[in-house]
Structure 1
């Protein structure tokens, strides 16, 4: 925890030199949040770290620390929400995965598997690497591939060398995965139930028929949104409306 706090603080301080007043303020907020976290003042740490997220800092370590602060503050719903957001950036982090798995054991509803074990094995890179990492790998491989093809074309060398074929295959795989991740993020939204208990109803009001109940930390799929409500799907046959304030979109 402390080593990553030092790294992030250093990055924020560098930002403050390069970009001025706002980054200086972000660095101050981060240091205040870190001090509050280390002293066990979880509400103050949460307030500081969430302010940084609201200011546009999109960082997996920040989200991980927010999840930790919420978990220590006995707020399972928000803890899992921020752990899920952190997993988008650093899915391979062992500390994050350990805390995430532990938090899942505290949930009351049976988790719905998002992907089969076979898919996770066949497409392991998608689940082991973050979307940002996959995108950068795809860009780097494209640069290497097209640069190599250009050099070989100029020198009139044989294009179907084994190394070029391997680079081309890797480029295709990572480019396709990056495109799939982009489409999935744009079209498929998931959310985490935040309060200890939420009634899922058939309509937009508190008087609508209660269909079933979900509890803090449960992951659901967002089917549709209205101004104040979300239409969520828990399982194939369990679908209904909850207030937006009761479910945080990942």
Structure 2
């Protein structure tokens, strides 16, 4: 419980530092600090409806929903905050706390350790951050190439060539990370179940066989859509169909 209180307090500070230029956000933070979570939610949601967003906004909105006991809404906004700031440990921590309180405990398919390591590195920054690293590394590549092409001594040429190769690899890798993080923002392929209890069907219609039951707050992967039905996959590999009204896309 102390850990939850600590992270919710940290989120309030985080929000002030990141989105302080919007008076409505300050108002929402004040309402949150005074324990008026329902009103804070209204203010935060109004900011989103006006077309503005930030990790801090989604983060604090998630915390307000968490305080009012609305778990699916809290998880949804934590997930959206994490999409914008995948490197933020506080967001990830609060999201994990929220998931621990969901009814469905789904075993994850074991991921190859190199894949897990690769993903952890990729999530150290967001799309814009990796793009900046890519540009800097490319500039350093050009400098190294310049030493190789115009250096007068063999030692200078060798050093320039080595640096050029290293920074070209770093630039390409950073660009790849940036593209992947951007793709996650544009092509939203996950959703949160909002219906308290829902039957996952074997086919995209109400007459389909019930395969298994899921509860609110569970995260699903969106594979394809047919009419008003989503074909979804769970972390354990199970698949089925769910009506679009039962989920909210992250």
Q: How does the TM-score come out when normalised to structure 2?
A: 0.78
Task: Say if 1:177 and 1:92 are closer, same or farther in 2 by CA, change over 3 A.
Answer: closer
Residue 8 of structure 2 corresponds to residue 8 of structure 1: no
Residue 84 of structure 2 corresponds to residue 93 of structure 1: no
Is 1:223–1:232's contact at 8 Å kept on the other side of the alignment?
yes
Task: Say if 1:210 and 1:89 are closer, same or farther in 2 by CA, change over 3 A.
Answer: same
Task: Say if 1:2 and 1:191 are closer, same or farther in 2 by CA, change over 3 A.
Answer: closer
Is 1:190–1:220's contact at 8 Å kept on the other side of the alignment?
yes
Q: Describe the SS at the equivalent of 1:128.
A: coil
Aligned counterpart, 1:170 = 170
By how many angstroms is 1:207 displaced?
Answer: 4.8
Aligned counterpart, 1:189 = 189
Deviations 1:162-216 (A, max 9, x none): 3333212211221222334445655671111123222222445545443221112
Aligned counterpart, 1:22 = none
Q: Describe the SS at the equivalent of 2:135.
A: helix
Task: Say if 1:90 and 1:184 are closer, same or farther in 2 by CA, change over 3 A.
Answer: closer
Indicate the RMSD between aligned Cα atoms, in angstroms: 2.9
Residue 83 of structure 2 corresponds to residue 124 of structure 1: no
Aligned counterpart, 2:234 = 234
By how many angstroms is 1:126 displaced?
Answer: 0.9
CA distance in 2, matches of 1:134, 1:249: 25
Is 1:60–1:90's contact at 8 Å kept on the other side of the alignment?
yes
By how many angstroms is 1:117 displaced?
Answer: 6.0
Is 1:230–1:244's contact at 8 Å kept on the other side of the alignment?
yes
Report which stretch shifted further, 173-182 or 83-92.
173-182
1:1-250 → structure 2 map (5 Å cutoff): 1-10=11-20, 12=21, 27-111=22-106, 113=108, 116=111, 118=113, 119-146=115-142, 148-149=144-145, 153=149, 158=157, 161=160, 162-183=162-183, 189-226=189-226, 228-234=228-234, 238-250=238-250
Report which stretch shifted further, 79-88 or 106-115.
106-115
Q: Describe the SS at the equivalent of 1:109.
A: coil
Is 1:88–1:131's contact at 8 Å kept on the other side of the alignment?
no
**Unaligned 5+ residue runs, structure 2?**
1-10
By how many angstroms is 1:94 displaced?
Answer: 2.9
Is 1:149–1:159's contact at 8 Å kept on the other side of the alignment?
no
Is 1:112–1:234's contact at 8 Å kept on the other side of the alignment?
no
Task: Say if 1:134 and 1:223 are closer, same or farther in 2 by CA, change over 3 A.
Answer: same
**Unaligned 5+ residue runs, structure 1?**
13-26
Task: Say if 1:239 and 1:130 are closer, same or farther in 2 by CA, change over 3 A.
Answer: same
